[in-house]
Amino acid sequence: MSNNIITGIDIGTGSVKVVSARKNPETLNFEVLAKVQKPILGVRKGVVSSVEDVASAIKECIKEIEVQINEKVDGVYANANGSHISCSSSQGLVSVSRADQKISSEDIDRVIQAAKAFPVSKNKEIIDVYPKEFIIDGERGIKDPLDMQGVRFEVEVLVVEGFSQYIKNTSQAVLDSELQLYDVVINPLASASSVVSSKDKERGVAIIDIGASTTSLAVFEEGNLLHLAVFPIGSNNITNDIAIGLKTDIDTAEEIKLNFGSCSAQKGDKKIEKVTSKELEEVVSFSRGNLRKIIEARVSEVFDLIKADLEKISKNQKLPSGIILTGGGSELPGISELAKKEFKLPCRIGHPLNFTPEIVDPKFSVACGLVVVGSDLDNSEESSMFSGIGNKIKRFFKMFIP
């Protein structure tokens, strides 16, 4: 697209969210030119189940975006989501190729490829590779090895994998909506790109993105991506619990959650509320205290899953910058207080940083993060320093080197 406008599309279970923005070269902030959210069909647990339905929803959103910015959208950055996404650690080792023993971009590319040289299941593919550290002649902790000297060149990476068909479905839905697909970015990293500062990544932080049917986790420390995961549970599960607990229909349960839901005890907990169910044609009566208990039980279950994951990487209660909650589920009143209690760490709600006008809605964190990633990739492609390195590796340098 002309004028350096970048568009990110967040394909979610209940809705598709699109943001078009342009980076101001002077302030380095992103100027939001248009944003759209529309309901979507054809997505289950974060993955595209109907390419046709998703393509149709994307087309609708893009038409509206084009009207707002008065330009044609040629291509976009999209997200990949779902519990099929997993990560694992790997190592690569090569000898430095140049006679003067200076590490070139080709050496970096070769050592990354060596780290990727392991068997992958037939139905899975490598989505992303993120270097944790480079090692030169046994010297660890190197972030940018370009032009450094050595003989033995190693890397430790985090490899992100996903089911090939799910990734293809996402790509096909974008292509069928008559758009170019510039890149696919996994949900937790898209969120992190918009809501987390470099300082927090350096100190140690966990980003929890609570969506409609999935909750994703990304953990950073010393500027490196340490871990990520996607769990098949989200705010829709809270709605289902309310429907069962209060013996009402899903639409009424969602209305109750949005209007009265909370994760923390309040003065009005004993107050009896009444909501009319249009579907069942009856009045649903409930106390706010009982509703809170239903909600808190499910949110605590989500946090327990994440705590167990943090324990696996020895980071439970050990992240100085604490927890950042984002996504639509983070709008639930009292959720940050509950997270602080559960994780025993500082906690805050994260919304996109450095966007003007300010976007305070955490539901747009992924779409804004895709814009940030797109801008980083555009800049790295203009730099000859990164010639010869794949797009995923370019993104590493932009995302993780302050």
Ordered by start, the domain boundaries in the chain are: 2-83+164-194+352-400, 86-163, 197-349
Quick: pLDDT tens for 170-221.
999 999 999 999 999 999 999 999 999 999 999 999 999 999 999 999 999 9
List strands edge to edge, sheet with 205-210: 224-231, 215-221, 205-210, 323-326, 347-349
Q: Which uninterrupted H or E stretch holds 349?
A: strand 347-349
CATH C-level class of 86-163 = alpha beta
Query: H helices within 247-287, ranges in order?
Result: 250-260
pLDDT at 383: 42
pLDDT at 377: 83
Quick: pLDDT tens for 73-98.
999 999 999 999 999 999 999 999 99
Average pLDDT, integer, range 306-319? 96
Q: What is 16-49 written as a DSSP string?
A: EEEEEEEE-TTT--EEEEEEEEEE--SEETTEES
- Please give the radius of gyration of the chain, using alpha carbons only, rounded to the nearest integer: 22
pLDDT at 402: 42
Residue type, 311: E
Q: Map residue 283 onto helix, strand or coil.
A: strand
Same fold: 2-83+164-194+352-400 with 197-349: yes
Q: What's 297's DSSP letter? A: H
Q: Residue 148 and residue 136: Cα distance in Å, rounded?
A: 8
pLDDT at 381: 53
Quick: pLDDT tens for 281-305.
999 999 999 999 999 999 999 999 9
Q: Residue 375 and residue 67: Cα distance in Å, rounded?
A: 22
The CATH code of domain 2-83+164-194+352-400 reads 3.30.420.40
Q: Which uninterrupted H or E stretch holds 152?
A: strand 152-163
Q: Is the pLDDT of residue 385 over 60?
A: no
pLDDT at 192: 96
* CB within 8 Å of 95: residues ≥ 6 apart: 151, 152, 153
Query: Which CATH superfamily is 197-349 part of?
Result: ATPase, nucleotide binding domain (3.30.420.40)
Average pLDDT, the chain: 92
pLDDT at 390: 43
